[in-house]
Chains A and B, each alone.
Chain A
Amino acid sequence: MKKYAKLVKVGDNVVTSVADIGENETFIVKTENGEKSYKSNQKVDFGHKIAVEEIKKGEQILKYGQEIGIATADIKVGDWVHIHNVRDNYEVK
């Protein structure tokens, strides 16, 4: 069975997995231009995020077309993206 991850908004650099994806497993992201397949570098559970672009340390994580956090390490395409490599930079102003 094909496994999918969801791109919430075009331009986002992460997708959200809608299946439990294993290490080195192929998953598919649907875009306006059809399906694109990627390979996961780690195990990624349902609901967790995976990078679909290279994100350097200090760069923004984009989901919903919005900056949701800052990378605390270099992130490769296919990497699991969560609290181990993302910092919350939100402040109440």
Chain B
Amino acid sequence: MDFYGFPRPDGQVGARNFIGILPAVGCVNAVALQIERLIKGTRAITHHQGCLHPPQDTEQVTRTLINLGKNPNCAGVLVVGLGCEMVKIEEVVEGIRESKKPVDAVVVHELGGMLETINKGAQIAADMVMEASKIRREKSGFDKLVFCTKCGSSDTTSGLSSNLVVGEVCKMLTDMGGTFIQGEVCDIMGGEYALKDLCVNPKEGDKIVGFVKDLYERGLAVGADTRGCQMTAGNVAGGLTTLVEKAMGANSKGQMVPIQSALLYGERPQCAGRHIMATPGHGFENLTGGAAGGSQLILFTTGRGAPNGHPVIPAVKICGNAKTNLTMKSHIDIDVASVINETETVRQAGERLFELAVDVASGRMTKAEILNFDGHMEILIKGPVM
């Protein structure tokens, strides 16, 4: 089992090799989508942010756009701007340029409209695709791998099987010098002190506790107790009794692996090992956070069958519910119900998942990719929207 990826000038290794068409603001999504339709080998990375934010959100959106552009799955990036957005187009371009990959920008106001921008943008993208298509996959070390994780449409099997299996992969990957990013502050809620105990540096643990407190306080500001909102009727019907129980099941995606740092949303880790990022549970923003963190792919556990992927990173769907593995077969990449039936140990299933993940990082397509169920994403903002 070897990892074959696309080498990038900054030493990262990509699992995919497309040209990202990245709107600086949601207003020009239509332009990015047209360029994607015209030019093979491009990927529109559309979202709905970039303007009328408080300064903290402009900073967060800018950081996320830059780091999405730096994701090793992008061979090059064409930034599409409108010309009046709060996010500074030049700042995004210069930020991505640090990765030494090809990057350029087209601005609708400067070029005089949509059709002119599509024309110029498509020409630039076509040249970038030609160059990118010359890059060949090379055998690369496992230390170049960065995986992120999330659970979606979870049920009681998530904490008993798929999350534990991902935790096993976290152990294997970090033992081999790779990087693992975990998030979902809402799911951490109740288990933040268990995570703090795993932090190499207590200051990072305080940050994780702070992520939870921030979510709680922001909920209270709009009159919601986010502790109560977390437990769905489905969770209770499925047998989950308390928030701490739910959080411990979610936390097991990293098992007892030590935590190196707590990351801001969309921030890149500074070292290998396990990290906790301030991502929400909501998939559209969550996967974007992991992609901006530099992940080549996401290990996405599900109980009832969450089908969606992400434009920048392939999503490997892992399911421990035997029934869902039958009814949602066309969306599940790996069946780990064996862990519940005890026909396989968590370790054995983890080895199987690690092998699949390395295959996907080396080019094997996921169900969400094959089904084109991966076109949408969002960038997290705290608001208020103005």
A and B interact physically: yes
Near A by CB (< 8 A), chain B positions 63-95 give none
> Which of A4, A8, A66, A81 has most B Cβ within 10 Å?
A66
Interchain CA distance A17-B238 in the complex, whole Å: 11
A-side contacts of B227, CB under 8 Å: 88, 90, 92
Whether the Cβ atoms of A69 and B156 lie closer than 8 Å is no
* Bound CA–CA A81/B240 (angstroms): 10
Is B190 an interface position by the 8 A CB rule? yes
| Partner pick for B194 among A4, A48, A66, CB 8 A cutoff | A66
When distances are taken between beta carbons in the complex, the residues of chain A under 8 Å from B238 are: 47
- Which of B14-22, B243-251, B358-366, B378-386 has 4 or more CB atoms under 8 Å from chain A? B243-251
Q: Given A63-B248, A90-B190, does the pair A49, B241 have CB atoms closer than 8 Å?
A: yes
B11 interface residue per 8 A CB criterion: no
Q: Are B156 and A81 in contact (CB under 8 A)?
A: no
Judged by a CB distance under 8 angstroms, whether B126 is at the interface is no
Q: Is A47 within 8 A of B244, CB to CB?
A: no
Interface string of A32-62 (1 = CB under 8 A from B): 0000000000000111110000000000010
B189 interface hit (Cβ, 8 Å): yes
- How many residues of A sit at the interface, in one of the four size bands? 20 to 34
Does B236 sit at the interface, judged by CB under 8 A? Answer: yes
| B160 close to A (CB within 8 Å) | yes
Report the bound CA distance from A67 to B252 in whole Å: 15
Complex contacts, A3 vs chain B, CB 8 Å: none
- From B209, B241, B248, A83 is in contact (CB under 8 Å) with B241
| With contact pairs A66-B248, A92-B227 given, residues A81 and B157 touching in the complex (Cβ less than 8 Å) | no
Q: Which residues of B contact A48 (CB under 8 A)?
A: 239
Residues of A within 8 A of B176 (CB): none
CB distance from B254 to the nearest CB of A (A): 13
Check if A69 sits within 8 Å of B245, measured CB to CB.
Answer: yes
Cβ of A68 within 8 Å of any chain B Cβ, yes or no, is: yes
28 contacts between A and B (CB under 8 A): A4-B342, A6-B340, A18-B160, A18-B340, A46-B156, A47-B238, A47-B239, A47-B240, A49-B239, A61-B241, A63-B248, A64-B245, A64-B249, A64-B252, A66-B194, A68-B244, A69-B241, A69-B242, A83-B236, A83-B241, A86-B241, A88-B241, A88-B242, A90-B190, A90-B227, A90-B244, A92-B189, A93-B209
5 closest A-B pairs by CB: A47-B156, A47-B239, A48-B239, A64-B248, A68-B245
Which residues of A does B touch, CB under 8 Å? 4, 6, 8, 16-18, 30, 45-49, 61, 63-64, 66-69, 81-83, 86, 88, 90, 92-93
Contacts A18-B340, A92-B212 aside, 7 further interface pairs with beta carbons under 8 A come to A16-B156, A47-B238, A63-B245, A66-B244, A88-B227, A90-B242, A90-B243
